[in-house]
Structure 1
Amino acid sequence: MGDASHCGQFMNCAAGRGFVFDCPEGLAWNPATYKCDWPDQVEDCDAESFLGFSCPAPAPKSELLGEQEADYTFHPSQDNCQVYFICIEGRPRRIGCSEDQAFNQELKQCDDIENVPNCSSAIREKGAQIKAARLHAKKN
């Protein structure tokens, strides 16, 4: 359903009725495989428009220093510290951290939210509450 910039929905028909479903956030419907997939893997999906993120141009390669061009790069979301993008061959994929974690730019992965200073106090509080609830549940 939709167009190249809105490719996260699909319709399933049962008993003559159509039902609209949403792929999980950051994934697009792939009509070739009949499943939700990374938007950069879906031929008719414009991953950048769909995700609202454009991968930056790769840094120039230095032949003198023997630098290797990375196959992929990591970029924090400007809107949400619990989301980041991986650019693979210049095309983005959206990755979300769990509720008690956030993207740590130094580690290039999700980390305990208290280790990520750029999160808002509201997100930090919510993450701390979730972490405390999980620890309490493990004790019982």
Structure 2
Amino acid sequence: GFVCPDPAEVDQPGVFTRHAHPTDCRKFYVCIEGQARPYGCSLGTVFNVDSLQCDDPENVQGCENYYGELDVKTLKKTQTHKKGNRQSSSSDEAPSS
């Protein structure tokens, strides 16, 4: 599994860091005090290692074709609609920094 950086290497105690999943563009880890916690981006987005946030696939090198032939705009609308109806769980998205 994913191993977080040593907490002693983090500049400020209590600060979390985000790290890309090694094989899945939509997934990432949040490390809090050396413990890795898995998270995932909303449908239609992928994790951007430059901004450390979820982003459109075309903005993330190597993840441009993550969704293949699926229409990303339609996926995002579906996700937004579900959130509006409270059918979607946001528990897999990381806290904002």
Q: Comparing both structures, which one devotes a greater share of its residues to strand? A: 1
Q: Find the structure with the greater CA-based Rg.
A: 1
Question: Which runs of structure 2 are paired with 1:61-72 in the superposition (5 Å)?
Answer: 68-69=11-12, 71-72=15-16
> Secondary structure of the equivalent of 1:55?
coil
Q: TM-score, normalised by structure 2?
A: 0.63
- CA drift of 1:99 comes to 2.1
Q: Spell out structure 1 runs of 4+ moving beyond 3 A.
A: 58-61, 132-135
1:81 aligns to 2:25 (yes or no): yes
- CA drift of 1:95 comes to 0.8
Q: RMSD over aligned Cα, in angstroms? A: 2.7
Extract unaligned runs of 5+ from structure 1.
Answer: 1-51, 62-67
Report the counterpart of residue 71 of structure 2 in structure 1: 129
Using CA pairs below 8 Å that are at least 6 residues apart, which structure has the higher relative contact order? Answer: 2
Alignment size in residue pairs: 77
Report the counterpart of residue 115 of structure 1 in structure 2: 59
Report the counterpart of residue 57 of structure 1 in structure 2: 6
Report the counterpart of residue 103 of structure 1 in structure 2: 47
**CA contact 2:27–2:41 (8 Å) conserved in 1:** yes
Q: TM-score, normalised by structure 1?
A: 0.46
